[in-house]
Amino acid sequence: MCLTASMTTELSRRLLERDRKAVPEALNLIEDDRRAQRDASAALLQELEGNNRAALRVGITGAPGAGKSTLIDALVRELRSRNKTVGIIAVDPSSQKSGGALLGDRLRMRSSASDEGVFLRSMAARDRLGGLSASCRDGIEILASAFDVVLIETVGVGQSESEIVNLVHTLVFVAQPGAGDSVQFMKAGLIEMPDVFVVNKADTGAIAERTQSELLGGVGLSDEPAGAWTAPALLASALDGTGICEVVDAIIEHRDHLVETDALNTRLNRGKAEWLRGALIDRYGTHGIEKLGGPDALHAMIDTEVSEAASVAYQRLAVAVEDALRKG
């Protein structure tokens, strides 16, 4: 198949016009590793870059079994009642693209399965050591072009927060009552990362309330400058719907806060630079970065003012590192 520039322009136009059929086409393209498809995918992402920033990008993270998928199902229903369309990426921790997690997610999200305003795609977690896959990053860009809200489910406490935080506006951490998440968070110095804490399974009663107080205590401990966002710790039950409206309100309040403080694009730009740095270090090690002149030089090469799609910038910088390595 010959992929012409006009085809990617047409695909990007259809996405931005919210043609739902264009979404799987675009996602298939970005997951296709053949050379021509990779080039077309980079061209597509470059056309979308900067045109898809209105969509709300929300990461939903938390330990296995905390209730992330069930919460997403509840959030989707609330967002649909507010006339928002929703694209979802469920990051499948297993390397295989089929299996239990995927099936479970599909079943639980079935209430939305026949709704044109909801789209779910599972993606493999990793295609390189230690990082969220590049196709996950690109998938968010595709969904952000065609839907009002993009939700991304990732599993874990620690590593996955620091990765997903670079790709979203708002990071929601789903805490499991009684699991000691807040203690782990404080130990790892990660308590400042989430923008909204949700203690799910509020229907379990006192144990959930205790976890909420622990989190509130932990959040209060960090030294925030005046006017900074303080992450709320909300009690909710994805199962019976309690507190779900408040979770959506908190997500929207956080976005409004970013807009008011002029930090919406800054956050995405900083995340893009961080992601690029991590991706280059994963592939070439810090040695590769030194070859480019060190972290400061790399920073200067990632000009966040220029609207360059992350994967396009990645290809450009990878070529530069390889040139430098060849020269020795």
Ligand X SMILES: Nc1nc2c(ncn2[C@@H]2O[C@H](COP(=O)(O)OP(=O)(O)OP(=O)(O)O)[C@@H](O)[C@H]2O)c(=O)[nH]1
Rounded Cα gap, residues 223 and 148, in angstroms? 33
- x/- map, 80-119, ligand X, by CB under 6 A: ---------------------x--x---------------
The residue (of 66 and 168) whose beta carbon lies closer to ligand X is 66
Residues touching Mg ion, count (CB under 5 A) = 2
* Collapsed DSSP state (helix, strand, coil) of residue 193: coil
Binding window for ligand X (CB under 6 A); candidates: 14-22, 68-76, 209-217, 268-276: 68-76
Helix (H, G, I), strand (E, B) or coil at 306: coil
Closest to 87 measured CA to CA, from 23, 177, 25, 28: 23
Q: Applying CB under 6 A, does 239 fall inside the site for ligand X?
A: yes
**Segment holding 171, helix H or strand E:** strand 170-175
Quickly list DSSP for 207-222: HHHHHHHHHHHHHHHS
DSSP state of 230: P
Residue 77 beta carbon to ligand X: minimum distance, rounded to whole angstroms: 14
Q: What is the C-alpha separation between 118 and 135, in angstroms, rounded?
A: 20
Q: Which stretch binds ligand X (CB under 6 A): 36-44, 61-69, 132-140, 311-319?
A: 61-69
* Per CB under 6 A, 70 contacts ligand X: yes
Contact characters 247-266, ligand X, x per CB under 6 A: --------------------
3-state secondary structure of 328: coil
3-state secondary structure of 69: helix
Residue 65 CB, shortest distance to ligand X, in Å, is 4
Q: Identify the three-state secondary structure at position 56.
A: strand
If you count them, how many residues does the chain have? 328
Burial class, 28, CB count within 10 angstroms (exposed 0-12 / middle 13-18 / buried 19+): exposed
- Of 44-52, 235-243, 245-253, 314-322, the window that binds ligand X (rule: CB under 6 A) is 235-243
Q: Rule CB under 5 A: is residue 69 a binding residue for Mg ion?
A: yes
* Beta-bridge partner residues of 154: 61
Q: How many residues at the interface with ligand X, by CB under 6 A?
A: 18
* Residue 66 interacting partner from ligand X, Mg ion, none (CB closer than 5 to 8 Å by kind): ligand X
Which residue's CB is nearer to ligand X, number 136 or number 292? 136
Q: Is 245 in the site for ligand X (CB under 6 A)?
A: no
Q: Which of residues 193-232 bind ligand X (CB under 6 A)?
A: 200-201, 203-204
**Structure tokens given for 264:** 């919406």
Which is closer to ligand X, CB of 238 or CB of 317? 238
Task: Give me the residue whose beta carbon is nearest to ligand X.
Answer: 67
Token reading at 86? 């929703």
- Contact footprint for ligand X (CB under 6 A): 62, 64-70, 101, 104, 155, 200-201, 203-204, 237-239
- Contact footprint for Mg ion (CB under 5 A): 68-69
